Amino acid sequence: SGPSGWAQDTSHSLTIFVDGVCGMCEERIEAAALQLAGVETASWEAGSRLLTVVLSDPDFDEMQLHYAVSGIGHDTRKLRASDEVYDRLHDCCKYRDEAIVAAHQPP
């Protein structure tokens, strides 16, 4: 089909806030982002609660990320996950519970 027209240095990155607390959250959030067309890499950090994606498509719509992660139970600054989906998260991942968040903080 020939070259795609994308050079390595034309990638763009995007960072959004995604609430979560642990390694399981990290795996879930990154997997949801990676399922989106145009997302090359995804990295979420529990400490900052920031998801950074590298995009191959400069016209990528950021809202796709918000919908993807809120759809699996994680709040963003623009979309809140439904209580129904949030309630299905593992107990360790209940980031809306202050006691669980506190339990994940270093001593």
**Per the confidence metrics, is the pTM higher than 0.85?**
yes
Instruction: Note whether residue 57 is domain-resident.
Output: yes
- Mean pLDDT of all residues in 83-102: 96
Instruction: Note whether residue 74 is domain-resident.
Output: yes
- Mean pLDDT of all residues in 91-106: 92
Instruction: Note whether residue 4 is domain-resident.
Output: no
Q: Would you place residue 6 in the very low, low, confident or very high pLDDT band (cuts 50, 70, 90)?
A: very low
Which tens digits make up the pLDDT trace of 8-60? 555 699 999 999 999 999 999 999 999 999 999 999 999 999 999 999 988 99
Instruction: Note whether residue 28 is domain-resident.
Output: yes
Instruction: Note whether residue 50 is domain-resident.
Output: yes
Q: Would you place residue 105 in the very low, low, confident or very high pLDDT band (cuts 50, 70, 90)?
A: confident
Answer yes or no: is pLDDT of 1 > 50: no
Range of the domain at 55: 13-101
In which order are the strands placed within the sheet that holds 39-45?
A: 12-17, 50-55, 39-45
Q: H helices of the chain, where?
A: 23-34, 62-70, 83-87, 98-103
Token reading at 2: 């020939």
Instruction: Note whether residue 107 is domain-resident.
Output: no
CATH code at position 30: 3.30.70.100
Q: How many domains does the chain have?
A: 1
Q: Percentage of the chain surpassing pLDDT 90?
A: 84
- Mean pLDDT of all residues in 62-88: 98
Stated length of the chain: 107
Instruction: Note whether residue 52 is domain-resident.
Output: yes
Give backbone dihedrals phi and psi of 81, rounded to 5 degrees, phi first: -65, 145
Instruction: Note whether residue 29 is domain-resident.
Output: yes
